[in-house]
Amino acid sequence: MHKKKTYAVFGLGKYGVAVAKELVNHGMEVIAVDKRQNIVNDAAAFLPVCKCADVTDSEVIDRLGISEIDTVVICMATNLESSVMAITLCKEAGVKTVIAKCANEMHRKIFLRVGADEVVFPENESGIRLAKNLVSSGFMDILSLSKDVSIVEIDVKDDWAGKNLIELNFRKKYGFNIIAIRHGERVEVSLDPSAPLTKEMTLVVIANPAKLKKIK
């Protein structure tokens, strides 16, 4: 049996609440955190684990047990300094995936530089949509072309590593087409189907998001 993934959501504004509620609705274990007691009191009515704490304090990060969390979503885009500190502390604590909401392109670059694994713009990415992506086998929706077709990023799974695109035959098995492969900042669109995949790669695919739920 797979261990259930754990999440923490920092910042309980409209976006953070939407992320946390959707994750909880999908049966995920979620720690929701905000430093405003009145916000925490309100959110406690529908979020099982709600804490009032300052996530820019390393002792608070330790006390909350953030090092044991799989994914932290930082939703404090209006406060650059606090977001940067929270990202840094989470990565220092060993959190595998840190996703941060940003206010503009400059902030996006800063968040990536200090260690964020993904950065989302709230005007382009609703909190509910992000949460659904997180619980749907770990893929990240880049662009929705229609209700049934999106361009998404998928991390290379353990059992895909070392195999090539011909062997894996994603189109037949999962019903999606690979349009690019990303290696860090470098993106390849001229693909060699005989080249083996590695864990460091991210696949950029066009697919029906519902079909991606088949991926384990």
The range of the structural domain enclosing residue 28 comes to: 6-135
Residue 66 belongs to a domain with what CATH number?
3.40.50.720
pTM value surpassing 0.85 = no
Q: What's the confidence (pLDDT) of residue 172?
A: 85
Domain co-membership, 97 together with 152: no
Domain co-membership, 191 together with 131: no
Q: What is the mean pLDDT of residues 127-137?
A: 62
Average model confidence (pLDDT) for the chain?
84
Residue 151 belongs to a domain with what CATH number?
3.30.70.1450
Q: How many separate domains does the chain show?
A: 2
Whether the per-residue pLDDT at 143 is higher than 60: the answer is: no
Instruction: Please identify, among 90, 116, 135, the residue that sits at the C-terminal boundary of a domain.
Output: 135
* pLDDT band, residue 146 (cuts 50/70/90): low
Domain co-membership, 125 together with 159: no
Q: Is residue 1 part of a domain?
A: no
CA separation for the pair 113, 111 (Å, rounded): 5
The proportion of the chain whose per-residue pLDDT surpasses 90, expressed as a percent, equals 46
Instruction: Please identify, among 135, 154, 172, the residue that sits at the C-terminal boundary of a domain.
Output: 135
